Structure 1
Amino acid sequence: MTDDWVVSADWLAAHLDSVRVVDVRDAWEYDGIGHVPDAVSVPFDSFRQEGGPEGMMPTREDWEATLSEAGIESGDTVVAYDDTHGVFAARFLVTALYYGHDDVRLLDGDYSAWIRDHGASSEPPDVTPTDYEAGDPDSGVFVDADDVAAAAEDDDAVVVDTREPWEFEEGHIPGAVNLDWKEVVDDDTRGLKPRDAVEELLASRGVTREKRVVLYCNTARRISHTFAVLGWLGFPDVAFYEGSLTEWEADGRPIESN
């Protein structure tokens, strides 16, 4: 994976001829509102699957078919975006990484941020389907409930709940800290806050590079966004629980509330 997990709109504008841009918004937004020039449409629901090999992960065959239809090659540099601060696009990034596509990046901000300074298109590009081949699934990034419970008891690890504060207060995994994924987003720019500010925020919750970070949530996209942010910052050991807090509790495991 490249060190540049997150790229700016200016960077993307300068590299449009050498990257494959993926728009994960709904098809009506792509068609009716416009899109980044030459972006291909891969709606979020097309790679979000109930009962996949890792919770909401699509099967390998479905993922290969989706990327083949979008004209993506295994060696392409792929930049994904949405219009929701990158939270849906982050799930595309995580799915690509899981299936071995190392060179995938997240647009800093979203479509609204892009069109502030850059042009949009209403015409879809000509796409030549490919025979995309996924790599071996990297299941190591996913942990089960036993791993989460062990991390909560480990002084060298921190369990992070990426839901909103009110959700956290109503109930959370014992020992977890709360980091709402939106806390790292700048409302004005729609992109990520400066690195120093995000690092300071993380440190205030006990989330540092020296610790193993285990993420959980009730939605895959929110946890994926935080995963992408930690990758952008260079955190070396980040994993997440693909199961939800609902599943955790249904398994008879304890939760605590504030």
Structure 2
Amino acid sequence: MSDIVVPAEWVADRLDEVRIVDTRDAWEFDGIGHIPGAVNVPFDSFRADEHAAEDDTESEPGGPEGDAGGATTGQGMLPGAEVFTEIMSEAGITADDRIVAYDDTHGVFAARFLVTAGLYGHDPERLHLLDGDFSAWRLDHETASEVADFDRSEYVVDPPAETPLVGIDAVAAATDDPDTVVVDTREGWEFEEGHIPGAVRLDWRELVDDETRGLRPREEIESILDERGIAPDKRVLLYCNTARRISHTYTVLRHLGYPDLAFYEGSLTEWKADGRNLETGA
């Protein structure tokens, strides 16, 4: 297991060595407090609305099959290279920084930030998700109300030549591939209303312990994955509705060492908009 998902003690010992990104809303960051040294990058600031995604499609990183990675419909998609550059520069973050992200929702919004950073070229080995969230952190660790002052940086976006992103045609082909398992990370009722044919359901929250607000023990997670046929020797292709929830599952599977992960950024929003077939029921 890697240090992609890191415990609070790991972070507390490195407060002076890492850049901490709080992805909660500004009112939470300012009014409730935050991890010392954190900078606030609210979730809404790094997801594109429909028009932004359409305007910036050419700047989005592409998938390994050459598919367009940036979806052009729905909420929660990649913000565009220029927008992300400005966000990171304003936060005083450089491309060389080691980043720890957190939220107060079991890590799902923080994971989306980390996935976005990785797709725009930040070294994945320098991106970490706090195991747990702010509510868990403040039970045993110091919080701050003052805002740390960082000078503006000149963040450089440099998307890698290959990313885990796949487009809609690659997803359709994967539904007939015995070496690929297509995973729907939404809730059960959503899955029953309609899902990509052949997909298996894995609600992202199943991997989270509600009491600790962090990940379940590794053996419990592996048991759940094994039950669904989500094995390390398979190519695992993830989707949800708008690519938020798959970000958490993607991060957890990377943490567990799964070697072949595919990320359908368009997710079910794009799939339905394109008129593709859906299966219903459990």
TM-score range, shorter chain: over 0.9
CA distance in 1, matches of 2:204, 2:37: 29
**Mapped contact 1:98–1:138 kept (Cα < 8 A):** no
How far 1:247 sits from its partner (Å)? 2.5
CA distance in 2, matches of 1:74, 1:3: 21
**Mapped contact 2:107–2:130 kept (Cα < 8 A):** yes
CA distance in 2, matches of 1:250, 1:215: 18
Runs of 4+ aligned structure 1 residues displaced above 4 Å come to: none
**Mapped contact 1:86–1:108 kept (Cα < 8 A):** yes
- What does residue range 50-61 of structure 1 map to in structure 2 within 5 Å? 50=49, 51=53, 52=56, 53=60, 54-55=70-71, 56-61=77-82
CA distance in 1, matches of 2:161, 2:217: 30
Structure 2: stretches of 5+ with no match in the other structure? 61-69, 72-76
- What does residue range 56-67 of structure 1 map to in structure 2 within 5 Å? 56-67=77-88
Per-residue CA deviations over 1:37-95 (Å, capped at 9, x if unaligned) read: 01011111111112153131121111111111111111111000000000000000100
Structure 1: stretches of 5+ with no match in the other structure? none
TM norm structure 1: 0.96
Per-residue CA deviations over 1:113-141 (Å, capped at 9, x if unaligned) read: 10010010000001111111112245531
Match of 2:66 in 1: none
Match of 2:46 in 1: 47
Match of 1:126 in 2: 149
Match of 1:14 in 2: 13
Match of 1:154 in 2: 177
1:116 aligns with 2:139: yes
CA distance in 2, matches of 1:254, 1:73: 43
Q: For residue 254 of structure 2, what is the amino acid of its counterpart?
A: G
CA distance in 2, matches of 1:80, 1:61: 21
How far 1:252 sits from its partner (Å)? 2.5
**Mapped contact 1:98–1:139 kept (Cα < 8 A):** no
Q: Match of 1:158, SS?
A: strand
1:187 aligns with 2:192: no
TM norm structure 2: 0.88
CA distance in 2, matches of 1:27, 1:202: 35
Match of 2:91 in 1: 70
**Mapped contact 1:186–1:193 kept (Cα < 8 A):** yes
CA distance in 2, matches of 1:211, 1:204: 14
Q: For residue 247 of structure 1, what is the amino acid of its counterpart?
A: E
How far 1:219 sits from its partner (Å)? 2.6
- What does residue range 75-86 of structure 1 map to in structure 2 within 5 Å? 75-86=96-107
Root-mean-square deviation (CA, aligned residues, Å) is 1.3
- What does residue range 1-258 of structure 1 map to in structure 2 within 5 Å? 3-50=2-49, 51=53, 52=56, 53=60, 54-55=70-71, 56-102=77-123, 103-137=126-160, 140-258=163-281
CA distance in 2, matches of 1:222, 1:189: 19
